[in-house]
Amino acid sequence: MDLTVENKLKALWELQEIDSRLDRLNALKGELPIEVSDLEDELIGLQTRADNINKDIEQYENDIAGYKAKIKQTEQLVVKYKKQLEEVKNNREYEALNKEIEIAGLEIMGAEKRIKEHFGYIESKKEAQELAKQNLENRNKDLEFKKKELVTISKETEEEENGMMKERNDYEKKVEERLVKAYNRIRKNVKNGLAIASIERNSCGGCFSKIPPQRQSDIKQHLKIIDCEHCGRILVDNAITGIVPVVVSEEDKPKRRVRTLKAAKA
């Protein structure tokens, strides 16, 4: 069954009231949900860094193994060249073999230098690895503590939240999807989360901008959804909110001023 504009506005107002109560419950949790999320993101980054360090160490170790194999292979060539020296028949062959032995010696020295450098790299990476491990352990402890704290607070409010969420869903069903989407969009775009604003002292209850008399009249007729020209909030009157404005009579106003003046003189 299609609802009248008035009933839709009432449903939206009730939806806003529930969301405001939910906002207050979430405020009890403070920054904990954000802190938990930030810690989880930080741990992902720390774990990635730790994994990269482990890969670097593994690569250096593989390189060292490769250099050692090269040294062993080159040493075998040197042995082979030295045996061939005993069988050379002319100076040219002798000099060529000596040159090969010299080059092989330089290659061995170069590989040994690289091995030494890589051991230094590994030592440095292991220090970083230990630091990353400690950071992971500390931040994991922080995350565990924050999660427990959040769970404790959530349990305290869980029953109330579940009841309000059920009530919220009931009110959402009373309004077409288009209006619900508009309501949720406005809530996201305003600082206090108030998508529905009442008229207060001829002004928008959300941004306090003045509302022209004709626009106020249109709002009170409940013929269409009307938003604030300044902040975009959906505007409703007291017939929708059920809020009765406090009216101070003209007779009371002078008396209040008199009492204030007397109090000031005293």
DSSP string, 131-184: HHHHHHHHHHHHHHHHHHHHHHHHHHHHHHHHHHHHHHHHHHHTS-HHHHHHHH
The pLDDT value given to residue 70: 95
Question: Which residue, 173, 203, 231, sits at the end of a domain?
Answer: 173
Tell me, yes or no, whether 35 and 163 share the same domain: yes
What pLDDT is stored for residue 100 in this prediction?
A: 93
pLDDT of residue 186: 95
Q: Residue 250: its pLDDT value, please?
A: 52
Number of residues assigned to the chain: 266
Residues 200 and 163 in one domain: no
Assess if residue 76 is contained within a domain: yes
Which residues, 6 or more positions from 107, have their beta carbon under 8 angstroms from its beta carbon? Answer: 70, 74
Report the pLDDT value the prediction gives residue 3, as an integer from 0 to 100. Answer: 79
Instruction: Please check whether residue 22 lies inside any domain of the structure.
Output: no
Indicate whether 83 and 97 sit together in one domain: yes
C-alpha span between 220 and 237 (Å, rounded): 6
- Round to whole Å and give the CA distance between 145 and 139: 10
Note the pLDDT of residue 266.
Answer: 38
Q: Cα torsion at 216, 219, 225, 228 (round to 10°)?
A: 20
Quick one: pLDDT at residue 33?
85
How far apart CA 234 and CA 207 sit, in angstroms, is: 12
* Global pTM value: 0.50
Domain assignment of residue 262, yes or no: no
Q: Answer yes or no: do 213 and 166 share one domain.
A: no
**Are residue 45 and residue 169 in the same domain, yes or no?**
yes
In a domain, 11, yes or no: no
Is residue 257 in some structural domain?
A: no
Q: Which residues of the chain have pLDDT under 50?
A: 246-248, 253-266
Residue 28 and residue 157 in contact, taking contact as beta carbons nearer than 8 Å:
yes
**Confidence (pLDDT) at 88:** 84
The verdict on 81 and 168 lying in the same domain is yes
Quick one: 116 and 220 in the same domain? no
Q: Which helix (H) or strand (E) holds 63?
A: helix 32-85
Q: Residue 75 maps to which CATH number?
A: 1.10.287.1490
Question: Could you give the number of structural domains in the chain?
Answer: 2
Range of 185's domain? 179-241
